[in-house]
Amino acid sequence: MLRPKLVSETPLTAKFLSRINRFVIKCHLGGVGEVKAYMANPGRLGELLLPGAPLLIETVSDDSARKLRYAASAVFTGESFIGLNTHQANAVARYLLKNKLIPTLENANIEKEEISIGRNRFDFLMSENRQKFLMEVKSVTLSANKIAMFPDAITERGTRHLNELAKSKESIIKPVVLFISQGLGNNLFMPDYHTDLVFSRTLLALKERLRIVPIEIKWDQNLELSDSVKLLDVPWSFLKTRMEDKGAYILVMEIPKACNIAIGSIGRVDVNPGYYLYAGSGMNGLSSRISRHLRKKKKLHWHVDFLRQVAGKVKAYPIRTPQYIEEELVLALEQVFSPILPGFGASDSNLGTHLFYSPSDPFLTKSFQVLLSKFRFNDS
């Protein structure tokens, strides 16, 4: 069968500008200017789609069903290309399976594709030594520090698939979940318990009833799939220590316009437009602490509650860990962003402030992504 390619047509080089919605991005195409492109990947992709990131896009064939002339195919990270089309994962899996290139699945054969069972659809019905089993394929784009993680956004569908696979009567032997990450030199695979604790807990609970097969693939210089496939380890013992809902977080609040507000014991202060980053912790319930911050209607108690009242968009980035890291997180933010309002959130801290300022969205900066990866991507 044909070897999968990152780009089906002659690739065009472009620069990422911004994301309009989950499936449409804006980019700059040399000789053309600013264009919109369809992207078949609803994930957040924040660590990949940074302003100025090199892209490969292609011209979409004349199809009345498509409103956009271009489609995004891949992004270059500085180390390798990462495919942006999640639909391509099945083509990759099909090629690797038929050519017996996936470690631990060399004896598996494809019986049928796109299997509907109840309200769920699974990617493959497989057989191994005449025994059938279901297989679900997941595309992994999130990685740092030699660790690949999935998902990069909450996936209720993914959790449902795990549960349905585990109890499926179609599988005589253990069903398989195949996680396909793209070549960045990873050694480990973990569920992203920072982002989706429910999915992560479900994967851990069902690990004896499912075969978890995480692999890393590579694209060669011709943008074709390489036959080199690496099986990644899963640090199950470490993961057991990370399934509690506790840890630290970064709260990012957008203040749309200048205002003067009263902040508890600090008093009245002038607040400039921009983004405010607050570091806190929730060692007795991280999700509930974050949920409280996201609500406007509540009794104002902490300094951050007052600032939240004038914020527009608010986003929280949890870091789940049994260790107290709040002050370490504050010191890391201090190296990247401007500390402001002495005493803010620091009544029980030895540090000057837990609040920092950025004139633009920090999520769209490499420095913020690196900082977040430092705390999230580790196995110790």
Together in a domain, 180 and 255: no
Residue 53 DSSP code: -
How many Cβ atoms sit within 10 Å of the Cβ of residue 70? 22
Structure-token match 């999520």, residue found: 363
- Picking from 61, 83, 105, the residue at the C-terminal end of a domain is 83
Cα within 13 Å of Cα(148), Cβ side: 26
52: Cα separation from own chain's centroid: 19
Together in a domain, 145 and 287: no
Q: Is 330 exposed, middle or buried (0-12, 13-18, 19+ CB in 10 A)?
A: buried
Q: How far apart are CA 231 and CA 254, in angstroms?
A: 41
Residue 270 pairs with which residues in a beta bridge?
260
Q: How far apart are CA 23 and CA 49, in angstroms?
A: 13
Q: How far apart are CA 162 and CA 334, in angstroms?
A: 40
Domain that holds residue 292: 247-376
Together in a domain, 183 and 132: yes
**What is the separation, in whole angstroms, between the first and last Cα of the chain?**
42
Q: Is residue 3 part of a domain?
A: no
Together in a domain, 114 and 235: yes
Q: How far apart are CA 378 and CA 147, in angstroms?
A: 8
The structural domain count of the chain equals 3
Together in a domain, 206 and 119: yes
The tens place of each residue's pLDDT in the chain, 380 residues long, gives 789 999 877 899 999 999 999 899 999 999 899 999 999 888 888 899 999 999 999 998 765 456 788 999 999 988 889 999 888 999 999 999 999 999 999 999 999 999 988 778 899 999 999 999 999 999 999 999 999 999 999 999 999 999 999 998 888 899 999 999 997 799 999 999 999 999 999 999 999 999 999 999 999 988 999 999 999 999 999 999 999 999 999 999 999 999 999 999 899 999 999 999 999 999 999 999 999 999 999 999 999 999 999 999 999 999 999 999 999 999 999 999 999 999 999 777 789 999 999 999 999 999 999 999 999 999 98
Q: How far apart are CA 28 and CA 36, in angstroms?
A: 9
Q: What is the pTM of this model?
A: 0.93
Q: How far apart are CA 327 and CA 375, in angstroms?
A: 13
Together in a domain, 217 and 116: yes
Residue 99: CATH number of its domain:
3.40.1350.60
Together in a domain, 218 and 336: no
Residue 245's nearest CA partner among 191, 208, 215, 289 is 289
Residue 239 DSSP code: H
